[in-house]
Structure 1
Amino acid sequence: MLEAQDVTFAVGAKRLVDEADLVVPPGKVVSIVGPNGAGKSTLLKLLCGEIHPTEGTILLEGRDLEEVPAGELARRRAVVSQSTVLSFPFTVLEVALLGASVPGFGMRDEQMVALAMDSIEAVGLKGFEERLYTELSGGERQRVHIARALCQLEAPERPPGETAAFLLDEPTASLDFSHQSIVLGEARRQARLGRAVLVILHDLNLAAAYADEIVLMHRGRVMARGPAEEVLLDDLLTDVYGCPVRTNTVPADGVPFVLPYVGA
């Protein structure tokens, strides 16, 4: 379980995250939503250990995250950032392999390649293995990094009962409709494997469709959390987003409203 307890992150006098509480349990998909500047990405960086809270504590299975050794942290969580800069002409396979080749994971070369190939196929990039990363579209690059993170989750040998976390920051922002479904379907699969999954989304409809719990943030604070029907409320969303919002209604003038079908 990954948990934020009364966490604040301040830069000068500005609180980017303000006394936030959050729990990401194993086997669940938790989605953070909210307007630009709400503190979503900053909270994810705190949860993965990239930055440290000004106040409060981040816990991993009850342990202070700052006390978890780097090697164990690499084994216990995989992160896909909102944007990643990679200028070297690596192939798609080589980038994916970065997730499996972490020192201490103990995989043989042929095992790592097989895992990377499976992960590439899982994000809809089968046949791209020898393509250069620098020649891919933005959405394709994002899926390569998701494949890398999947390798990182699968590669290490884990002690019995040890869980892992999968943290994604706007993984669908550059993706078309079909690939949004592939990526978020993979997030749900990881939850079924017992992983704690946290995903930042701007699309409230995708959050409602795929997340077990939604966390709504505004100005660094957690305004509400719970299942979609308890968080996606007209008055609350209108106040947070600063524009009129009506949930569960078809848009005016018969404009089609399309969501992916989410199976069992």
Structure 2
Amino acid sequence: MLTADAAAFQINGKTLVSDIDMAIPPGKLVALVGPNGAGKSTLLKLLSGEIKPTSGAITLDGRALSSFTALDLSRRRAVVPQSTALSFPFSVREVVLLGATVPGFAEPPEHIERMALDCLRTVGLLALEHRLFTNLSGGERQRVHIARALLQLAMAKRAENEPGILLLDEPTASLDLAHQGVVLEEALEQARKGLAVMAILHDLNLAAVFADELVLLSAGRITARGTPAEVLKDDVLSRAYGCEVRTNRTPSEGVPFILPHYIRAR
């Protein structure tokens, strides 16, 4: 299990996150939510091993994350950042195949090819496998990188007691309504297959529908954690976001949905 214990990160005298205690258990989709500047991306970088905490600890199965080699980490976790710069004239298929180029991921080429196409099919981009990545829209590029991460985790050799971890930084930010559902349904499906999945989401309504657990971050600290019904409350959200928030319930399923209460100047 990936765990943060009193984790904090400071840079240039500024504290970006502090006193973070949380876990991402296998089989669950955890949504990290909160206002801009709350420290969500910093926390994801800590959990991925991209940066080290300045105090506290990030551990994987009880072992300090910093003690894992890059190869060991690549077998255990895949990361889809908020944006990725790629200027090489790679095809969509070639970008996805990067997920299987990690040393030690040796598999028969035909198996890798088949799995890469399966991952593209999963995110709805199989028809674009030969298109240049640089010619894609922002949302299509994001889905290609999700397919790459899925291939990485599918190709990695792990013991049964070593579940994979998928970390997604705003995976739906550039997507239309239909593909938001496609991506989060797949994230939830990966969790049901045994992965530990965490996604940073700005859309609280998507988080309410798809997440098993919400972690609300505000000013670098966790201010609420629990099921969507436990976290998505008027007072909790209004304090975190600094505006009046009204939580409602869908008529049939009773899932929380959020409406900010804006007052237009006249």
* TM-score normalised by structure 2 residue count: 0.93
| Other-structure match for 1:168 | 168
The Cα RMSD (Å) is 1.3
Does 2:59 correspond to 1:54? no
In the other structure, the counterpart of 1:180 is 180
Asked if 1:44 is matched to 2:44, the reply is yes
Does residue 7 (structure 1) correspond to residue 1 (structure 2)? The answer is no
1:107 and 2:107 correspond: yes
Aligned twin of 1:159: 159
Could you say which residue in structure 2 is the equivalent of 1:262?
none
Q: Distance in 1 between matches of 2:166 and 2:21?
A: 18
User: 2:6 is paired with a residue of what secondary structure?
Assistant: strand
* Residue-pair matches, total: 252
1:238 and 2:238 correspond? yes
Deviation at 1:156, TM superposition (A): 1.6
Superposed displacement of residue 12, structure 1: 2.1
TM-aligned CA deviation for residue 157 of structure 1? 2.1
**Over residues 37-83 of structure 1, what are the superposed CA-to-partner deviations in whole Å (9 max), with x where a residue is unaligned?**
00000000000000110001001111100001111100000000000
Letter paired with 1:206: L
Which residue number corresponds to residue 261 of structure 2? none
Distance 1:26 1:229 in 2: 21
1:76–1:165 CA contact under 8 A, matched in 2: yes
* Conserved? CA contact 1:33–1:214, under 8 Å: yes
Per-residue CA distance 1:102-160 (angstroms, 9 max, x = gap): 11012121111111100001001011110000000000000000000000010022223
2:95 maps to 95
C-alpha distance in 2 between matches for 1:189 and 1:120: 15
**Superposed CA offset, 1:143-184 (max 9, x none):** 000000000010022223221100000000000011001100
Q: Distance in 2 between matches of 1:156 and 1:18?
A: 32
Give a deviation string over 1:188-224, Cα, whole Å, max 9, x none: 1110111100000000010010000000000100001
Matches within 5 A, 1:155-234: 155-234=155-234
Unaligned runs of 5+ in 2: 251-256, 259-266
SS at match of 1:73: helix
Aligned partners of 1:228, 1:127: CA distance in 2, in Å? 36
Match of 1:99, SS state, is: helix
> What is aligned with 1:27?
27
Shift of 1:236: 1.1
Percent of pairs identical after alignment?
A: 60
Q: In structure 1, what is the equivalent of residue 264 of structure 2?
A: none
- Would you say the 8 A contact 1:166–1:198 is kept in 2? yes
CA contact (8 A) 1:3 1:59 kept: yes
On the 8 A contact 1:9/1:17 being kept in 2, the answer is yes
- Measured in 2, the distance between the counterparts of 1:107 and 1:3 equals 31
Deviation at 1:249, TM superposition (A): 5.8
Partner of 1:63: 63
Task: Assess if the C-alpha contact under 8 Å between 1:106 and 1:157 holds in 2.
Answer: no
Residues 101 and 112, structure 1, Cα contact 8 Å, conserved in 2: no
Contact 1:93 1:117 in 2 (8 A): yes
Q: Which runs of 4+ in 1 moved over 3 A?
A: none
SS of 2:216's equivalent?
Answer: strand
Question: Which position in structure 2 is the counterpart of 1:124?
Answer: 124
Which residue pairs with 2:247 in the alignment?
A: 247
SS of aligned partner of 2:236:
helix
Contact 1:101 1:107 in 2 (8 A): no
TM-score of the two chains, using structure 1 as the length reference: 0.93
In structure 2, give the amino acid aligned to 1:41.
S
SS in 2 for 1:87: coil
Q: Deviations over 1:221-252 (max 9, x none)?
A: 000100011111101111111111010168xx
Name the residue aligned to 1:135.
135
Q: Distance in 2 between matches of 1:207 and 1:249?
A: 14
Give the distance between the partners of 2:207 and 2:160, measured in 1 at CA. Answer: 32
